[in-house]
Amino acid sequence: MSIYLALLAAWALLGCAGLLRPTRPALASRLLYPLGAIVGLALAITALVNFGAPVERLVLAIGLPDLPFHLRRDALTDLFMLLLGAASAGISIFGAGYFSSTPSRVPGLLCLQYHLFLAAMGMVLLADDAYSFMVAWEVMALASYFLVTTEHRVPQICSAGFLYLLIAHVGAIAILLGFGVMQGGSWQFTFDAMRAADLSPPWAAVAFLLALFGFGAKAGLVPLHVWLPEAHPAAPSPVSALMSGVMLKTALYGVLRVSFDLLGPPDWSWGLVPLALGLFTAVYGAVFAAVQTDMKRLLAWSSIENVGILFTGVGLAIVFGGVGMSALAGLALIAVLYHALNHALMKSLLFLGTGAVLHGTGERNLGRLGGLLRRMPWVAWLTLIGALSIAGLPPLNGFVSEWLLLQSFLSAHEVPKPFLNMLLPLGAAIIALAAAIAGYVMVKFFGVIFLGQHREARLAEARDAGWRERFGMLLLAAGCVALGLFPTQVIGLLAEVPRQLGVMDALPPAANWWQLTPIAGRQASYAPLIFFAVILAIFLLTIRLVSWFYHLRVRRAAPWDCGFARLDARMQDSAEGFGQPIRHIFQPFFSMRRELPTPFDDAPRYQVEVGDRIWNTLYRPLEDVVKRAAASVAWLQQGRIATYLLYGFVTLLALLAVVL
Amino acid sequence: MSAAAIMPWLNQLVAVLLALLAAPLFVGWVNQCRAWLGNRTAPPLWQPYLAIRKLFIKEAVLAEHASSLFRFAPYAVFGTMICAAAIIPSLATSLPFSNAADAIALVGLLATARVFISLAAMDVGTAFGTLGARREMMVGFLAEPALLMVIFLASLISSSTALPAISDSLATQQLALHPSLAFTAVAFLLVLLAENARIPVDNPATHLELTMIHEALLLEYSARHLALMEWAAALKLFNYTCIGFALFAPWGIGTAAASPLSLLAAWPILALKLLLAGVGLALIETLSAKLRVFRAPEFLATAFLFAVLGILVHLLLGA
């Protein structure tokens, strides 16, 4: 506990140290970011050591006189600390290289915001009263706002930042109101008071929905996702990685904390809301990711998809827990936590990959990339690991969590509620669809950036990332592989969380260390290590046999391409082209504007703009209403002193009337 | 080790070797039936072996800027297909390796192969390669969830996701009619046709630019790489057919409780099933017309809906 605090304080101090030399990048990149990475690593190790230890509490007498900071750590905190520490270690090392050579006006300030952001996320996890939680939450939101608007002279980035700030605050208000409901009349805002409060079911439901709204806004749950594809690409890549990989998980942490700890045990019917929204979000995000042409925006949409999967799992866990199927609730919750951990590593890895590409080429439009595998082999192969993981392919980590989630869906027909037991298994179909589209998205992402020929001539001069960038990505990729190959050990750790939350009893010890059996051996098992070893063995054996019986001679020649002689890089599929089938199949999701050439055009132009239908149908009218309301309020501003005096006088009279 | 302990491992080895060796033969049989139905002179049954052998002997020609991903993809795809064959019960259901990967992992394995083929096709950067990759992934992202739902239903019926266990319980249970299985059988058939580049969706015998999917992926491959890819494609067809037998026609398979003698009886039964499946496949291909690529999503969406319908029927009727 005190180690956590010390490490978080170290982050804050490192940030402040950046201000010593605010305009020189050398101090921050040579010393502060690597130190920050070490702090992250220490945080992850502390979390690992802490796992399973009894709950600790601490009261810090800082802040307002009567409102000390209450802090608490339990297994849920440990898990998210592990996630924060592990992801940030890789990202910070990468950042050391990335920020040293990226022109930035005030590198010291960036360093301060970056480390404050990290420390604030850690504080969110430790907070044990509404006051300190909201302070940490706001510091996190503001620090990330400033990080998003690093390039604040670009108008789009400015407006993206503003949208982010707006939705973050609407969400924060909902969370605050949720805490207000949860204190249940005791007017004590510590989490302990909320745990003890006895809420009537309707009020508990209101609190849950408020929390879901607030945290869902932070996580990017559809329809509160609109800020995410704008804000994540706007930030520098290491920051995008932190926001997508870690910050979205703090929202998940909030949902879990509120629903399983503060309000717990939740009612089964509440679970249907995150379940339905999550399923919709998963498909919606995946479909939109498939049609993006900007590589970072594509990843942002893919984050939305993964948030959908996470919330689906949360909903499932609540339903299972509510009807008393505790083992399955635990399984679903473990799947969620596993996926959170996976997504933190793999999405960070992918965002860092785009950062390295952006750095090496100065280009983020998929239509102008291509063929970088040959120019940037390190970045490409490491990104491939991330891409295969997030596509949910065995034996990497993305598959494990998807497998666990599908296994828990498989038992959903046992829920003793009519109709529900028939509808729930269909959720698996939607998750499977989203996962399959994610595979499509990742082939597009990796194939268009790294494979094929250079779509622009200057890509031939692209340089591979520096050693710090490589090392940061290597750490994250190693994490992905390890989480994929050793699921039994990871689950042994994760199972501590549902146990401490009282969702399920302790997990029975695994039958053997290499085989994963969620329910019973005969029902299902998965042993990635053996699986991987066998594939690798066959792979090597085949090469060996081919060379033994035949030969491994190779001759290089021009590509065949069905005999078409004049091959040109522009004949490859563009990003738009690769997304065309999805655009065609899921047409109702999009609002499209197309500009088609006529046969008589001298300079034919084809342009298609794919928009988010929710933006047009939900946010535009909302914006109009707000604008109109603002305009009518503006009528009060007459600009004459006499009028303002009159307002004061009327207010005074009204107050007097109330008081007397 | 006692004989009883060695038996499952022997089964495992036999299953893999059988798939490896019989897959080209099965393709040859399907081609022969297609030729007869099309009133052509049929190539010999072992033609696929000759083709593979010829390709292995030849010198491999690689495109100038093909990367190492392009070179190792055939081995990876071939490896995943053999691995898949090790999970799928063809002769007997006691397969020790299936403990390492259940049916969901099998679907993941097939997806891995698909992703590697598509990435390899994009690697050279030709117009047809990327076109093929896009179409392959389009077929895949619809077929994969449909296949998963088919397996899901079988797991619901037999409360296990391990393919041999599913097959075992379907083969040994009292003769019970599962109307839901009929729906998923249709779905599975559609998926099988689409995933194996068979006629309504793709034509394995065409190099027509506008319609090809699978051939477009392999255009840049030659010699041993092509041989491995072709062999992997044959293995894929064999694997899918055996999944179909395991789920919808498990009769005669050597179950866990069966005596060694009945394991011997499983051989002719499997051969008979494969013969009939080959005729059926050739019939479907001869009788149906190739769909336009635009229509393929509808074809696969139908498969997906059938599979989901099957699950709904199962949950509604409990059968």
pLDDT at position A593, please?
A: 82
pLDDT surpassing 70 at residue B92: yes
Q: What does the pLDDT read at residue A502? A: 81
Q: How far is B144 from chain A (nearest CA, A)?
A: 7
**Position B318 pLDDT exceeds 80:** no
Instruction: Residue B59: list chain A partners with CB under 8 A.
Output: 551, 553-555
Q: Is the predicted pLDDT of residue A510 greater than 70, yes or no?
A: no
Under 8 Å CB-to-CB from B255, ≥6 apart: which residues? B92, B93, B168, B171, B172, B262
Interface test with B, best of A369, A420, A562 (most B CBs within 10 A): A562
Are A215 and A171 in contact by the 8 Å Cβ rule? The answer is yes
The pLDDT score that the predictor gives to residue B292 is: 84
Q: Is the model's pLDDT at A540 over the cut of 60?
A: yes
Write the pLDDT tens digit of every residue in A237-275. Answer: 999 999 999 999 999 999 999 998 888 788 888 989 999
In a domain, A437, yes or no: yes
List of chain A residues whose C-beta atoms are within 8 Å of the C-beta of residue B256: none
Same domain flag for A465 and A609: no
pLDDT for res A142:
93
State how far residue B276 is from chain A, nearest Cα, in angstroms.
31
**pLDDT 10s digits, B123-155:** 988 888 888 899 899 998 889 999 999 988 888
Instruction: Examine the domain organization and report whether A592 and A496 are in the same domain.
Output: no
Q: What is the DSSP letter of A396?
A: S
Tell me the pLDDT band of B319, cut-offs 50, 70 and 90.
low
**pLDDT score of A651 more than 60:** yes
pLDDT at A460 over 90: no
The nearest alpha carbon in chain A to B153 belongs to A410
3-class DSSP assignment, residue A509:
coil
Nearest to A451 among B82, B123, B307 (CB): B123
Regarding whether A425 and A288 lie in a shared domain, the answer is yes
The predicted complex's ipTM stands at 0.93
8 Å CB contact of A443 and B131: no
Q: Is residue A55 part of a domain?
A: no
Q: What pLDDT score was predicted for residue A600?
A: 85
Confidence tier at A509 by pLDDT (50, 70, 90): low
Same-domain check for residues A513 and A589? no
Whether A421 and A509 map to the same domain: the answer is: yes
Cα of B275 to nearest chain A Cα, Å: 29
Q: Is the pLDDT of residue B175 over 70?
A: no
Separation of CA A559 from chain center: 40
Residue in A with minimal Cα distance to B219: A561
Is the pLDDT assigned to residue A522 strictly greater than 60? no
Q: What is the pTM of this model?
A: 0.93
Residue A301's φ and ψ, nearest 5 degrees, are: -65, -35
B141 vs A580: CB contact, 8 Å cut-off? no
Q: Verify that A315 and A447 share a domain, yes or no.
A: yes
Q: How confident is the model at residue A66 (pLDDT cuts 50, 70, 90)?
A: confident
**What is the mean predicted confidence (pLDDT) over B307-315?**
87
Is residue A1 a contact partner of residue A73, using CB atoms and an 8 Å limit?
A: yes
CA A584 centroid distance within chain: 28
The answer to whether residues A334 and A404 touch, using CB atoms and an 8 Å cutoff, is yes
Question: Are A315 and A434 contained in the same domain?
Answer: yes
CA distance A343 to A332: 16
State how far residue A174 is from chain B, nearest Cα, in angstroms.
37
Same-domain pairing of A513 and A590: no
Residue B1 in this model has a pLDDT that exceeds 70: no
Q: What is the dihedral of CA A211, A216, A222, A226, to 10 degrees?
A: 120
Residue, of A511 and A4, whose pLDDT is higher: A4
Contact A559 B138 (CB under 8 A): no
pLDDT at residue A518 in the model: 66
DSSP state of A53: P
Q: B125: nearest CA in chain A?
A: A452
Q: Flag the least confident range among A512-521, A534-543, B288-297.
A: A512-521
**Both structure tokens of A606:** 């084809």
| Mean predicted confidence (pLDDT) in A298-312 | 94
Say if the Cβ atoms of B99 and A525 lie within 8 Å: yes
pLDDT of residue A505 exceeding 80, the answer is: no
Q: Per-residue confidence at B49, pLDDT binned at 50, 70, 90?
A: very high
| A577·B134 Cβ contact <8 A | yes
Rg of the Cα atoms in chain A: 26
Total structural domains within chain A? 2
Instruction: Report the phi/psi class of residue B51: left, alpha or beta, with left for phi > 0 and alpha for psi in -120 to 50.
Output: alpha
CA distance B303 to chain A (A): 12
What residue spans define the domains of chain B?
3-317
C-alpha distance from B136 to closest chain A C-alpha (Å): 10
Instruction: Give chain A positions within 8 Å (CB) of B145.
Output: 429, 432-433, 435-436
CA distance B28 to chain A (A): 23
Tell me if A561 and B126 make a contact (CB, 8 A cut-off): yes
Closest residue in chain A to residue B57, using alpha carbons only: A550
Q: Which residues of A touch B99 (CB under 8 A)?
A: 515, 521, 525, 527
pLDDT at A178 over 90: yes
Min Cα–Cα distance to chain B from A412, Å: 10
Contacts of B135 in chain A (CB under 8 A): 581
Q: Is residue A126 part of a domain?
A: no
Under a CB-based contact definition with an 8 Å cutoff, are residues A228 and A235 in contact? no
pLDDT above 60 (res A84): yes
In Å, the largest CA–CA distance within chain A is: 104
* Model confidence at A359: pLDDT above 80: yes
Residue pair A461/A305 in contact by the 8 Å Cβ criterion? no
A167 in Cβ contact with A175 (< 8 Å)? no
Distance of CA A232 to the CA centre of its chain: 10
Lowest mean pLDDT among A478-487, B26-35, B202-211, B270-279: B202-211
Q: Quote the pLDDT of residue B178.
A: 78
Is the C-alpha dihedral spanning A419, A425, A428, A433 positive or negative? Answer: negative
Q: What is the mean pLDDT of residues A192-211?
A: 90
Beta carbons of A562 and B62 less than 8 Å apart: no
- Sorting pLDDT into bands at 50, 70 and 90, what band is B244? very high
Cβ of B56 within 8 Å of Cβ of A524? The answer is: no
The verdict on residue A231 lying in a domain is: no
Count how many pairs of residues, chain A against chain B, have C-beta atoms within 8 Å. 259
pLDDT score recorded for residue A122: 94
Boundary (domain end) residue, out of A481, A500, A517:
A517
**A613 pLDDT above the threshold of 90:** no
Q: Which domain holds residue A290?
A: 269-517
The mean pLDDT of A394-399, rounded to a whole number, is 89
Residue A310 pLDDT > 90: yes
Cβ pair A556:B63 closer than 8 A: yes
* A32 domain-assigned: no
Choosing from A471, A493, A517, the residue where a domain stops is: A517
- Residues of A with CB below 8 A from B84's CB? none
How confident is residue A65, by pLDDT bands cut at 50, 70 and 90?
confident
User: Cβ contact (<8 Å) for A561 and B156?
Assistant: no
The chain-wide mean pLDDT, for chain B, equals: 86
Last residue of a domain, which of A499, A517, A535? A517
Average pLDDT over residues A214-231: 91
Q: Which residues of B fall within a CB distance of 8 Å from A451?
A: 67, 69, 119, 122-123, 125
pLDDT of residue B14: 86
User: Which of B115, B135, B308 is nearest residue A429 as measured by Cβ atoms?
Assistant: B308
Percent with pLDDT over 70 in chain B: 95
Task: Identify which of A422, A523, A562 has the shortest CB distance to residue B128.
Answer: A562
Mutate which: A550, A568, A580, vs B, most B CBs within 10 A = A550
Same domain, yes or no: A587 and A513? no
Tell me if B156 and A550 make a contact (CB, 8 A cut-off). no
pLDDT (average), residues A80-87 = 94
Residue that is written with structure tokens 């703090």 in the block: A250
Higher pLDDT, B180 or A78: A78
**Ordered DSSP codes for A136-183:** HHHHHHHHHHHHHGGGTTSHHHHHHHHHHHHHHHHHHHHHHHHHHHHT
